[in-house]
Amino acid sequence: MNITIVLHQPQDLVNIGGVVRAMANMGLERLTVVDPAEFDPWRITGIAHRTEHIVEDARVAPTLEEALANATYVVGTSARPRTAQRNYRRPRDLAPRILRRAHDGEVAIVFGREDRGLSNEALDRCHEVLVIPTSPSHASLNLAQAVLLVAYELFLAGAAAPAELPTGKRSLGPATAAELEETYRALAAGLASIDFFKARKPESVMRVLRTIFGRTTLDAHEARLVRAIGYETRNRVERGDAAATDDTAGPREPLPPG
């Protein structure tokens, strides 16, 4: 299945063992570990027996950005909603969509470190954020148990789904996380060039835009169009009106960000 469990900076090997075991139990096989405190395949398979097929193929990535670059759908997880401007979902409601999106491209589900969870910056990279319902007085689950509950919902949703999901052929696949990040950089550059942010906080404006685009499914072509809007706006402002003559020819190659 095209679903990767991504652990961001896990601090405890025992938890990685617990995660791997939960994945094996629920039929998930792809693991990426980002900047772990330690990662020792031999000790992990000592904790979680018969999981070599997961641990030996696990990817260790230096940054979250690298881990997510090829993902076309990124789901974060959080013990509690922190800022209002996000797409929060329950695992049971989101599981069918996660499975559908795994047909189209690579889905990443991101879990945070044991002591701090995911930073706002990390959550900004997620199209939607899963919150597992809990007692309000103890919202924070153990990392491996959080993975187990999400994987369990995916397992149930997979069993309930018809064997062959209807898939409309798209002309272009969904945009990858790396393409979307470039699109957001271009939009921010365009908005800054027309002084749109003024008293607004760029970070909050961009978060709302990320939330909106996170709810839709931009394909690669659509992401490029939005990106061109951002860069063309900036280019036009930087060139001044006089130099901007022939704009009927469609978007030009955008300048690199900067």
Selected binder of ligand SAH within 13, 14, 139, 205 (CB under 6 A): 139
Do residues 148 and 26 lie in contact, with contact meaning Cβ atoms separated by under 8 Å? Answer: yes
Cα gap 110→64, rounded to integer Å: 9
> Quick one: tokens of 25?
């139990």
Selected binder of ligand SAH within 26, 74, 118, 154 (CB under 6 A): 118
What number of other Cβ atoms are within 10 A of residue 234's Cβ?
23
Cβ closest to ligand SAH, residue 138 vs residue 198: 138
Residue 254 makes contact with ligand SAH by CB under 6 A: no
> Quick one: tokens of 258?
């900067």
Least Cβ distance, residue 203 to ligand SAH (angstroms): 19
Do residues 18 and 144 lie in contact, with contact meaning Cβ atoms separated by under 8 Å? Answer: yes
What is 54-104 written as a DSSP string?
A: HHTT-EEESSHHHHHTT-SEEEEE-SS--SSSS-EE-HHHHHHHHHHHHHH
Least Cβ distance, residue 22 to ligand SAH (angstroms): 12
Region binding ligand SAH by CB under 6 A among candidate stretches 53-61, 73-81, 222-230, 250-258: 73-81
Do residues 107 and 128 lie in contact, with contact meaning Cβ atoms separated by under 8 Å? Answer: no
Selected binder of ligand SAH within 134, 152, 155, 205 (CB under 6 A): 134
Region binding ligand SAH by CB under 6 A among candidate stretches 138-146, 176-184, 185-193, 238-246: 138-146
Residue 233: partners with Cβ closer than 8 Å, 6 or more residues away = 190, 191, 193, 194
Residue 185: partners with Cβ closer than 8 Å, 6 or more residues away = 230, 257
Residue 87 makes contact with ligand SAH by CB under 6 A: no
Residue 143 makes contact with ligand SAH by CB under 6 A: yes
Region binding ligand SAH by CB under 6 A among candidate stretches 28-36, 134-142, 211-219, 239-247: 134-142
Residue 77 makes contact with ligand SAH by CB under 6 A: yes
Selected binder of ligand SAH within 23, 54, 146, 206 (CB under 6 A): 146
DSSP-assigned beta bridge partners for residue 34: 8, 61
Region binding ligand SAH by CB under 6 A among candidate stretches 129-137, 191-199, 232-240, 250-258: 129-137
Residue 107 makes contact with ligand SAH by CB under 6 A: no
> Quick one: tokens of 135?
């007692």
Region binding ligand SAH by CB under 6 A among candidate stretches 21-29, 40-48, 106-114, 223-231: 106-114
Selected binder of ligand SAH within 79, 178, 192, 220 (CB under 6 A): 79
Cβ closest to ligand SAH, residue 140 vs residue 204: 140
Query: Nearest-CA neighbor of 192 among 231, 225, 224?
Result: 231
